[in-house]
Amino acid sequence: MAITDSVPTAVVSGGSLSGLMAAITLKDLGYRVTVFERSTTVESQGAGIVLGKWSSGFFNKFDKTETEISVPISRRQFFNLDGSTITEEEIKLGVTSWDKLYYTLRANYDGYIQQGYLNKEQNAAQKDDKTDYFMSTVVVSHAYNPDKGKVTVTYRKKEGNESQTEVDLFVCAEGASSSSRELYFPDLTRKYAGYLAFRGLVPEKELKPETAKKLINSISFLHAEDSQFLCYPIPGPGGSLVPGERHMNFVWYNTYPEGPILDKVLTDKQGKRRPFSVTTGSMPTSVVEEEIHAKTRAKLSPECLELVMKTKHPFVQVVTDVISPAGVFHDGHVILVGDAFSGARPHTAASTNKAADHALRLHEVLKADPRNLLRLKEAWEPRSMEYSNHLFHIGKRIGDLSQFDVHPMRADKEIPDRTLEDWMKVGEPK
């Protein structure tokens, strides 16, 4: 049913990167937008993000603060176990961090300024009655009423009672474990891919000068049996891009069959077995020593080892597969975006790019008539689906090759032909 109210309304469930990008898009289209975010605090964990074409495109189009968001990278290199280089090539890439993107998006959405990241002189959005962002608020359920053409969203603030609001559009940006998606696909769950990522950060200035010199302008990889390590620089505290103030960020994939050892790695200091991740500062020291530190010498070069050993609080995330067969429901009144639509494996380094693509296409499809949600099924879903599928399959191929087969850049094997197939370079999917 077409929207008749003078100001169309939307609720976005999930206030991370894909939720904020969709919210900014809808605000620009004239919607009154409310974002509900379940977390009580913004916990970035300092995760690194590779900026892709659509992420950059999104910020070029919507960022009014003119924030410089990325650290430039000029080289991709693959290491041997002794630290010598197997191969390297020049590339042009921007890398950033989750928190840098989050705070820049918030400034553009509702004018929220996080000290250090942005300042008051920057042209942030003015707080008005068109946007709300509520933390500590979980979306419990939603229901479409076809007679009214409205979605009733039930939500609960921390330690409060349930409340309801009625909107024209419900955007589910709840990430790969989305509960709102269950309404449409109750049997769709995240499937463990058989390996996980240990991750961490080290301040650039704490690295040996020769290590910093070798790693700082590059994205570096080291492949070994059951193991893929990569690292790149990201903004430092307060989003600083200043050389010397940045962080080096590593992601180290390790194969773990399901069983007691995996359970141990995913059990936090409180003794609770976590399903998908143990956050920074929550891994028991014994697990860090036995499962991370003990493996470094066999699988990492000296500079990669230095990064891991200098990381004060590593964290762990499991790698999973999940893709939704559809992303538009109830004549366009409910949509899935970002990882809720498809939780691709991280090897394409393009999940944020996908979230930006979802938001940019939403703008493209609705800009002629923001009330015409019927168009989403025919004009937004196929393209978003195609892109999500592309990333899903390439991510799976790269991950399986690295963890369960012989990657051409394996450091612990003699490989006669070290040519990288084009699909492994990922680049920018169409």
Ligand X SMILES: Cc1cc2nc3c(=O)[nH]c(=O)nc-3n(C[C@H](O)[C@H](O)[C@H](O)COP(=O)(O)OP(=O)(O)OC[C@H]3O[C@@H](n4cnc5c(N)ncnc54)[C@H](O)[C@@H]3O)c2cc1C
Residues that bind ligand X (CB under 6 A): 13-19, 36-39, 47-50, 138-139, 173-175, 179, 197, 251, 317, 338-340, 346, 349-353, 355
Min dist. Cβ of residue 342 to ligand X (A): 9
In terms of CB distance, is 78 or 102 closer to ligand X?
102
Taking the C-alpha atoms of residue 166 and residue 329, their distance in angstroms, rounded to an integer, is 16
Q: Tokens for 371, please give them.
A: 């009330």
Q: Strand 218-224 and strand 315-323: pairing?
A: unpaired
Cβ distance to ligand X smaller for residue 67 or 352: 352
CA distance 334 to 142: 9
Q: What Rg do the C-alpha atoms of the chain give, in angstroms?
A: 22
In the structure encoding, which two tokens stand for residue 409, read together? Answer: 């850049």
Quote the least distance from Cβ 187 to ligand X, whole Å.
19
What's the half-sphere exposure (Cβ side, CA atoms, 13 Å) at 343?
A: 20
Residue 383: Cβ within 10 Å count: 15
Of all helices (H) and strands (E), which one includes residue 307? helix 302-310
* Closer by beta carbon to ligand X, 41 or else 285: 41
How far apart are CB 84 and ligand X at their closest, in Å?
Answer: 26
336: enclosing H helix or E strand: strand 334-336
Q: Whose Cβ is closer to ligand X: residue 38's or residue 106's?
A: 38
Provide, rounded to whole angstroms, the least separation between the CB of residue 154 and ligand X.
Answer: 10
Instruction: Please give the Cα distance from 344 to 175 (Å, whole number).
Output: 11
Tell me the sheet residues that pair with 79.
Answer: 85
**Nearer Cβ to ligand X, position 3 or 9?**
9
Q: Which is nearer to ligand X, 51 or 376 (CB)?
A: 51
CB of 179 to ligand X, least distance (A): 5
Q: Judging by DSSP bridges, how do beta strands 48-51 and 85-97 pair with one another?
A: antiparallel
- In angstroms, give the least distance from the CB of 4 to ligand X: 28
Closer CB to ligand X, 3 or 321, in the complex? 321
| 133: number of Cβ within 10 Å | 20
DSSP code string of 102-139:
HHHHHHHHH----BTTB-TTS-PPPP-TTEEEESSEEE
- Minimum Å gap between C-beta 256 and ligand X is 14
Specify the residue, 212 or 319, whose C-beta has the smaller distance to ligand X: 319
Q: Is 119 exposed, middle or buried (0-12, 13-18, 19+ CB in 10 A)?
A: exposed
Minimum distance, C-beta of residue 251 to ligand X, in the bound complex (Å): 6
Q: What share of the chain is helix, strand, coil (3-state, %, to 5)?
A: 35, 30, 40
